[in-house]
Chain A
């Protein structure tokens, strides 16, 4: 009824291959984009204070969506489990810091995009063991990357310009006369900047996964021997997945520190964060870009909304709510893994299916 592709004929190959072949999907995306671009930067979220909605919810959600898409490329599309996400984000952040302090006059957007390449190189290097080992063994190898990089962030003082605080402190940078990093940046500017990155990277990721490269990743995931037999090169495919995934993580790490946090110690890139990002991907749906959006938004906002609800509706102590939301997230992950292993993305597909045939049951 609401979702009906009957009557929408494709008359050319180009139409058939477009990213959203169904008209309703296109309308839906346009509405979401309009809300994200024209409503949120000016009004925030309904019921929440503006700067809180922007700085504590929207900006981090957009940044973590980039992380989730990156991790999903590796875990969901290529089937290589990684626990080094936090550290790869750190590589991006430290690279961005070094680059922008060396070249203070270069546009920060270019610096952020460039720092992703440093992260991609490091990611590809730590992806090398994936050619020989799989599954749990690969998890251990990426965990080693996580710990090694954390060690570097503490020990290699050059990385943080020998600051006595051992942290990277973000200098103020302007783009076209607008302050985009540092404390003086307006929330709306920062939000629109990260949103721009997200839209760009989503378009790239969407086209990568439905093209030749992405199909190679999925072949490797589904059966690597068969993929090799029909001509997919494991070396190139796996390393490209690691590189692209780390690129996304690096960009999101740089954005996290420069646009959101403003200063960061190694603690912002520790293994707990790696787990958090993995939860986002699993919860949202492995092998789905829409799922990355939903997973990041859900895992990040759920505890905050729980806390707000507890405070406003039942006047519960936030400390108790903190613990309750930890328990609830854990329980939800177990529940989702049992009931819907394909995550929120699959739930959305089911909803779509229902809408399509509504009001009939079949």
Chain B
């Protein structure tokens, strides 16, 4: 037995030693994919990972990659766990990684200080550290197309446009963690300015699926509108509880991580009227999505269930991949090289232009608002629109509503200054 064990271990060790990864081939674009298809949040992680993967695979199949260089994806499972995130980062960064999409706030926070050292940019699309939108302080981190604070200001504007905010009571139900608490400073600042009253309903991570207490309080407080910052199992539970106390669904707004098909399908008819914020188009009526179906899904190269293609989170994954692809091609144009480095990628992320004309060329006309890479503004223009659940699917109900940049920007800059306050060695950049 012992002998077998020893021989087995030796064989394994030899095999590992023998198969050290070969060096990068010439024209390849290596993109690590930190995804979570296991763990408590897999329900949201799977469609996002599929969308991201399928768009880039579609570019490989249809155009032979980006600018003549093939995209090489390596998926690494994080299970939404910060420690596994480190492992994935270390396992992939040496292979010429161009950009990290950490897909978890915890992992993003760990990568932000690493990005300038390893010269690999981080694109935390609509999550992570809001302050990272200040490009002068965070040269290597991007939060395109918008941040949580901008999103909250868009939601408040939407409420203001639909019945007014003044004198109303706004309830805020949130996951009691860093993510859920992030918009609170903005709410507290805007409440007196815009003249609304605020009622907070924190939901602890462990009580995500037992929210009767919070909703009892909601019934007592009688807010006119409810805003939700939830994730995972919390969302469906909240909508069910809201229905139980007969809270009007069309006055219940979820942020963009609280209004996906994965959240609403289990609720079905009960959630009819529920409103969600979003920044990426829904459905499959875009030529690019049709190409994904043709080149990837039907070719059997996707892990996605064909019925989920075009869902909210799938398309958000697609949008993430679009930003990455556009930044790569911008970097290719600027450097004249086919295969680029992480530092080139950072330039690309600061200089790409994704306006309606370009979206049309990509086969994504009307998919989202304009987005332009910029040195100062790593946050992007917002383009948050609203969608409503009709009992079986989401329908877009508004045009993009611009965030209140005048309120959000100072807050972002204050937070960025606070971030680097206790880090004297922190390197910013000056924009010309």
Contacts and interface: CB of A to CB of B under 8 A. Distances in A.
Interface in A318-339: 318-319, 322-323, 326
Contacts, number: 137
Contacts of B419: 163, 169
A65 interface: no
Closest 8 CB pairs of A and B: A166-B178, A47-B17, A183-B113, A263-B109, A47-B16, A56-B87, A56-B90, A183-B114
Interface of A: 46-49, 51-52, 55-56, 60, 101, 104, 147, 151, 154-155, 161, 163-167, 169-172, 182-184, 260-268, 304-305, 308-309, 312-313, 317-319, 322-323, 326, 351, 354
A354 B1 CA distance: 13
A164 B117 contact: no
21 contacts: A47-B20, A49-B21, A51-B90, A161-B422, A165-B105, A166-B182, A169-B113, A171-B422, A172-B425, A183-B113, A183-B118, A260-B86, A262-B114, A265-B82, A267-B177, A304-B87, A305-B16, A308-B16, A312-B19, A318-B75, A319-B38
Contacts of B130: 164
Interface in B138-183: 176-179, 181-182
A139 B86 CA distance: 31
A251 to B, nearest CB: 18
B91 interface: yes
A262 B418 contact: no
Contacts of A46: 13, 16-17
Most buried by B among A171, A309, A326: A171
A165 B15 contact: no
A51 B83 contact: no
B76 interface: yes
A183 B117 contact: yes
A182 B19 contact: no
B38 A261 contact: no
A195 B117 CA distance: 24
B204 interface: yes
B155 to A, nearest CB: 18
B114 A164 contact: no
B110 A263 contact: yes
Given A55-B86, A267-B82, A268-B82, 17 more contacts: A47-B16, A154-B177, A165-B105, A165-B182, A166-B177, A169-B109, A172-B423, A183-B116, A260-B86, A261-B82, A261-B83, A261-B110, A262-B110, A263-B110, A263-B112, A312-B19, A319-B75
Contact of B105 (A184, A265, A305, A309): A265
Nearest to B104: A267
B247 to A, nearest CB: 26
Most buried by A among B110, B114, B182: B110
Contacts of A165: 105, 109, 129, 131, 178, 182
A263 B93 CA distance: 19
Given A265-B82, A319-B77, A322-B38, A164 B131 contact: yes
A313 B15 contact: yes
Interface string B81-112: 11100110011011000000000011001101
Given A166-B181, A184-B117, A312 B15 contact: yes
Contacts of B61: none
B23 interface: no
Contacts of B93: 51
A101 B422 contact: yes
Contacts of A48: 16
B37 interface: yes
Given A183-B117, A309-B12, A323-B38, A56 B17 contact: no
A325 B2 CA distance: 23
B402 to A, nearest CB: 22
B113 A262 contact: yes
Contacts of B204: 151, 154
B91 A56 contact: yes
B422 A267 contact: no
Given A47-B16, A56-B91, A101-B422, A267 B106 contact: yes
B415 interface: yes
A195 B94 CA distance: 25
A151 B16 CA distance: 43
A255 to B, nearest CB: 13
A151 B176 CA distance: 9
Interface in B118-135: 118, 129-131
Given A263-B113, A267-B82, A312 B422 contact: no
B432 interface: no
A185 B284 CA distance: 47
Interface in B179-205: 179, 181-182, 185, 204
Interface in B395-432: 415, 418-419, 422-425
B71 interface: no
Contacts of A354: 2
A164 B113 contact: no
B79 interface: yes
Contacts of B423: 169, 171-172, 182
Contacts of A263: 106, 109-110, 112-113
Most buried by B among A60, A154, A260: A154
B82 A52 contact: no
B379 to A, nearest CB: 15
A1 to B, nearest CB: 15
B19 A313 contact: yes
Given A267-B82, A313-B19, A47 B13 contact: yes
A263 B21 CA distance: 30
Contacts of B19: 312-313
Contact of B178 (A151, A171, A265): A265
Interface in B44-100: 75-77, 79, 81-83, 86-87, 90-91, 93-94
Contact of B83 (A171, A268, A326): A268
Nearest to B176: A154
B206 interface: yes
A167 B106 contact: yes
B178 A56 contact: no
A154 B424 CA distance: 26
Nearest to A276: B83
A171 B113 CA distance: 10
A182 B113 contact: yes
Contacts of B422: 101, 104, 161, 171
A322 B77 contact: yes
A313 B79 CA distance: 23
Contact of A56 (B12, B77, B86): B86
